[in-house]
């Protein structure tokens, strides 16, 4: 793994309607995304600190790249995934699987964003 503590180092969630997707993620995660200037690509990052665990990522709109229904699942770290779960419907998404135990590894919620992407929320409580 070339010296990395975690296998994943970046993620991208492809979207068609950036304003709708941005409003969903900002509302559900109670955060503000930041524009990342990249030629020919619209990207809004979730932020991140390379000195801390986990990885950064972005919402991406790129003509010709489809979104929704892919085989990739991004999990967002939470203190209690029930909190983020409670915000999903109000921001245009839907719950695919409500908070459930994954044994000693904590809890997850699976949701679908307004763009059709399946996402997860993970917490230890």
The pLDDT assigned to 4 comes to 47
- Provide the pLDDT confidence category of residue 1 given band limits of 50, 70 and 90: very low
What's the burial of 18, exposed, middle or buried (CB within 10 Å: 0-12/13-18/19+)?
middle
77 phi and psi, to 5 degrees?
-75, 135
pLDDT at 121 over 70: yes
Mean pLDDT, residues 52-75 taken together = 83
DSSP string, the chain: -TT-SSS--EEEEE-S-HHHHHHHHHHHHT---EEEEETTEEEEE----TTSSS-EEEEEE-TT---SS-S--EEEE-S-HHHHHHHHGGGT-EEEEEEEE-GGG-EEEEEE-TTS-EEEEEE--
- Provide the pLDDT confidence category of residue 38 given band limits of 50, 70 and 90: confident
Q: Is the dihedral of CA 62, 88, 73, 81 positive or negative?
A: positive
Global confidence as pTM: 0.82
* Token pair in block for residue 125: 């409580």
- Provide the pLDDT confidence category of residue 36 given band limits of 50, 70 and 90: confident
CATH 2.60.120.680 assigned to domain 10-123? The reply is no
pLDDT at 2 over 60: no
The pLDDT assigned to 3 comes to 53
């Amino acid at each position: 793994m070339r010296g990395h503590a975690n296998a994943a180092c970046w993620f991208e969630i492809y979207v068609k309607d950036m304003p709708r997707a941005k409003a969903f993620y900002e509302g559900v995660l109670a955060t503000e995304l930041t524009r990342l200037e990249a030629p020919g690509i619209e990207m809004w990052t979730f932020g991140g600190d390379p000195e801390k665990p986990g990885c950064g990522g972005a919402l991406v709109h790129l003509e010709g790249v489809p979104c929704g229904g892919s085989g990739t699942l991004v999990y967002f770290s939470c203190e209690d995934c029930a909190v983020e779960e409670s915000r999903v419907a109000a921001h245009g998404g839907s719950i695919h699987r409500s908070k459930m135990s994954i044994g000693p590894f904590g809890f997850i919620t699976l949701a679908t964003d307004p763009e059709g992407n399946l996402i997860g929320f993970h917490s230890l409580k």
